[in-house]
Amino acid sequence: MAPASSPPRAFALSDKVKDEVHKQDVWTVFSPASGYVPEDSINLGQGFMNWAPPEYIQEAAKKSIEAIETNHYSIPKGRIRLRQAISKHYCEWISISFGLSSPSFKRTINPDTEIVVTSGANEGIYAFELAFLRDGDEVILFEPFFDQYICNTTFNGGVPVYVPLHPPAHSKHTSVKASEWKIDFDEVRAAITPKTKAIFVNTPHNPIGKVFDTEELLKIGKIAEEFNLIILADEVYDALVFNKEHIRIAALGNLWERTITIGSAGKSFSATGWRVGWAIGPQHLVQPTLAATTRIVFCTNSPLQEAVAVGLEKAPEHKFFEQQTAEYLERRKVFTAALDKVGLPYTMPDGSYFVLVDNSSIQIPDDFVIPDIVNQGRPRDWIVSWFIVQTAGVVCIPPSDFYSPKHIPIGEQFSRFAFCKDIDTIRAAGERLLALKPYIKK
């Protein structure tokens, strides 16, 4: 008989992940699947759609799965058909249809040396940081930030350095435009040290919905050139821009040479679970990113790469992006009209599918019960967002998780709602939010 084995000892965790293991973040708590939020809640929290990708892309996916060759490994840089489709899409659809005012960008993007397909945009960002960050290198992040930026940076030895976007002072009392949120460029310069390696620019911005204009991007680019910084342009919402011109920082002046641009099929085609993204840039930035992604995932989902290629190739004949933008404009209109009816001010987004709602006027009753999982020294927006879901049955996200501790006071006056749901769901959510009216004090 084999001797009884003793229970395994407690194994020490990596310093990079030990704080993440038991972390109760917004995604853990504010989800109908979490067990904390009522199951019948309308989920306007996490940014995923409640419809399938367009039918012509679904058909392409089915055909690809039925083939033999497309069910096996692809080369790490991505399937050639997709890389060619990305090159054509970026050079023609964006630059020409949206009228980039940058003659210097009338160039081709080499699908063999200037594009790498990644397992979602997030893996592309991680691979970029693995490729270029050395221990102690600093990365400038504008707040609020996509929360994955932090671990992507720290897991690769980097140090996040935060610069906030400032809302207009009157945002507590009236609705404002996303363009009114501003960067203080003196704060950007003050954040730079000899260890600064890169600066991240997210446009259209999650969660503000700000679409950076040419002047702002040129100022960021000038700083990057002065201090020899790499620019990571997170442009995953580039297909969701409303009555604005989406400007690519890589297309301005000589900034192509120091910029890597991240894109996402999931955001563009309502297929967030497909995990197909890409990184575009000059060879000296893309090839190290490819070397890193080869060791992280080796290659990205092969059959769905083919389907995304078809999605990009046939988008013009289906007028897909034009129709999608019109549909999102209608969703934005319906949701913001509901907020007006409730009496809550908000930031009107120019891009993406998020609305930041100012929660300052919501007064929570003294007898409202707040569970420990929420009331653990959390910022105010956690409490208010919990009150909203319990009172109105609509899930939203507290954006203080997208801020460094120093700048949480900016974020905690807001709650983030995602309007990437069908019109009927958005209307139903608007009706439910009327339950908040008795608790709004001007």
Spatial distance between the Cα atoms of 374 and 319, rounded to a whole number of angstroms: 45
Estimate to the nearest angstrom the gap between the alpha carbon of 35 and the chain centroid: 25
Please determine, for residue 249, whether its predicted confidence score (pLDDT) is greater than 90: yes
pLDDT tens, residue by residue, 352-407: 999 999 999 999 999 988 887 888 788 999 999 999 999 999 999 999 999 999 99
CATH 3.30.1360.120 fits 26-52+321-439, yes or no: no
Length of the chain: 442
Determine the Cα–Cα distance for residues 208 and 117; give it in Å rounded to an integer. 27
Domain range list for the chain? 26-52+321-439, 55-317
Residue type at 227?
Answer: F
Instruction: Give the model's pLDDT for residue 161.
Output: 98
- Strand 176-177 versus strand 346-348 pairing type: parallel
- Region 54-76: mean pLDDT is 94
Looking up tokens 């995604």 gives 27
What is the architecture, at CATH level 2, of domain 55-317?
3-Layer(aba) Sandwich (3.40)
pLDDT tens digits along 136-159: 999 999 999 998 999 999 999 999
**CATH fold match for the domains 26-52+321-439 and 55-317:** no
**Predicted confidence band of residue 261 (pLDDT cuts 50, 70, 90):** very high
Residues 297 and 321 sit within 8 Å (Cβ to Cβ): no
The whole model's pTM is what?
0.92
Alpha-carbon distance values, 120 to 278, 327, 419 (Å): 7, 24, 21
pLDDT, averaged across the chain = 91
Poorest-pLDDT segment among 8-17, 48-57, 67-76, 266-275: 8-17
Residue type, 421: K
Write the single-letter amino acid at 52: A
In angstroms, the CA 160 to CA 10 distance is 30
pLDDT for residue 184: 97
Q: What is the pLDDT of residues 306-363, one digit of tens each?
A: 999 999 999 999 999 999 999 999 999 999 999 999 999 999 999 999 999 999 999 9
Looking at residue 150, what is its pLDDT?
Answer: 94
Q: Confidence class of residue 94 from pLDDT cuts 50, 70 and 90?
A: very low
pLDDT score for 370: 86
What's the confidence (pLDDT) of residue 98?
37
pLDDT at residue 442, as a whole number: 74
Mean pLDDT calculated for residue range 112-120: 97
**pLDDT of amino acid 87:** 94
- Residue 93 pLDDT > 50: no
At 184-222, the pLDDT tens digits run 999 999 999 999 999 999 999 999 999 999 999 999 999
pLDDT on residue 16: 78
Cβ(83)–Cβ(112) under 8 Å?
Answer: yes
Q: What is the pLDDT of residue 371?
A: 82
What is the reported pLDDT for 429?
A: 97
